[in-house]
């Protein structure tokens, strides 16, 4: 197996994230993640299964109410891409669909 990539390991992947402070209270940002196609062999090794590449985007906004209180909203997988988070010879794990969460932070 010399020279063969490990199962579920893409040849190329990257993440790009940024944020921008619009006002002293409001921070917005987001990013994209790309994972190239991945291969895995069947349990008996007769053939290789290739999982397609995917690209997803995430966004967030954070508002500072006071110096110690912040609220943040995250939206993950904004395009609702269907893809496999992990894929192995005998099972696969589909990734979550578009989702959102809100976080309330209190610093003390």
Q: Are 85 and 92 in contact (CB under 8 A)?
A: no
In the block, residue with structure tokens 């944020």: 19
Percent of the chain with pLDDT over 70: 91
| Residue 83, pLDDT above cutoff 70 | yes
- What pLDDT is recorded for position 3? 72
Determine how many CB atoms are found less than 10 A away from the CB of residue 72.
15
- What pLDDT is recorded for position 1? 63
Which range is least confidently modeled, 10-19, 36-45, 46-55?
36-45
**Alpha-carbon span 28 to 53, nearest angstrom:** 27
Q: What is the pTM of this model?
A: 0.79
Backbone conformation region of residue 67, classed left if phi is above 0, alpha if psi is from -120 to 50, else beta: alpha
| Residue 54, pLDDT above cutoff 90 | yes
Arithmetic mean of pLDDT, 59-80: 97
């Amino acid at each position: 197996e010399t020279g063969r990539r490990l199962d579920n390991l893409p040849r190329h992947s990257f993440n790009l994230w940024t944020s921008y402070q619009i006002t002293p209270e409001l921070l917005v940002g987001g990013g994209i993640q790309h994972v190239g196609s991945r291969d895995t062999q069947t349990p008996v090794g007769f053939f290789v299964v290739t999982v397609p590449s995917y690209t997803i985007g995430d966004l967030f906004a954070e508002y500072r109410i006071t110096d110690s209180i912040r609220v943040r909203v995250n939206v993950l997988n904004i395009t609702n891409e269907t893809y496999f988070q992990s894929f192995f010879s005998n099972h696969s794990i589909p990734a979550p669909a578009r989702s959102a969460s809100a976080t309330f932070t209190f610093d003390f």
